[in-house]
Amino acid sequence: MIKSLSASLGALWRSLSCLALVVMALGVTALGGCSTGPAPWPTALTPTRHADFDHNTLALTWQPGFCTVGKGCSADQPRQPLIGLHGLWASEPHSLEAQSIPVEHWWRDGCSLLEPDAQAPVLDNAMSATLNQIMPHTQPSLITHEWVKHGACFGYSAGPFFAKASALRERFAQSPMGTYLAERAGLRVRHDDLVAFFRTASQTTLPRAMQLRCETDHEGRIVLTQLWFTLAPGKMHLFPAAGSYLASPQNQDNCPAEFWVKRW
């Protein structure tokens, strides 16, 4: 009787623990094997100001590469997940284009061209924990940088903005393309092979729907650091399926014919 009761309580505790992790991550990140499918979808992300832009760029990081180039990441950077979140970036609003502001200035300055006094985001503990797990740990804070530069001027609330971006990251990480990358950690890969697999897995042939970013690491090797996806703002709920993509108007893929997909 006691052993049976103990076993039942143990099973209940494991179930509640798993549920708690999912709740803590707002259904966005999968921890400890709790995830059983695509990340639950948060409330739609609808801009209420400066909404005259054409596309969003979802910027994901390959963490072992991103954290070993340039200034790198802090010593407390988590080693999981391998696929991290950089940000979700709106394209240049038409109001700025009408002022002949070059797109390069938008890429550099972002929201400060529209609303220069943005403050750091206010996030609850659960979302802060999620972002701490999946975003690169940089100085200054990448979380604050992404909100001030790419989120604050569009009338979003910080919580839903980061929840949407985090859910997109999670869906990609769980996709065949995410698995394909994880299986090649530590290997040298061909650019054409990676793009071909993406097109097959996503069923999209749009040019520049996915663009790869590479840099030279501290050992002198050219390594994958980021993946940029051009998404239709009203169809992000379909990601990573074909209907979510647009063709990027700019060619920003800088990876060579072969490069390394680093592992920790």
For the stretch 194-218, pLDDT in tens is 999 999 999 999 999 999 999 999 9
pTM for this predicted structure: 0.85
What are the contacts of 180-183 at 24+ separation with CB within 8 A? 181/62, 181/82, 181/83, 181/261, 182/82, 182/83
Q: pLDDT value at position 41?
A: 57
Q: Which two tokens stand for residue 69?
A: 């180039």
Average pLDDT score over residue span 149-178: 98
- Ranges 3-12, 19-28, 110-119, 239-248: which has the least confidence: 19-28
Amino acid type, 160? P
Q: Which two tokens stand for residue 25?
A: 């991550």
pLDDT band at 27 (very low <50, low <70, confident <90, very high): very low
Q: pLDDT value at position 44?
A: 77
Average pLDDT score over residue span 227-249: 98
pLDDT band at 252 (very low <50, low <70, confident <90, very high): very high
> First vs last Cα of the chain: how many Å apart?
48
Of residues 166 and 36, more confidently modeled: 166
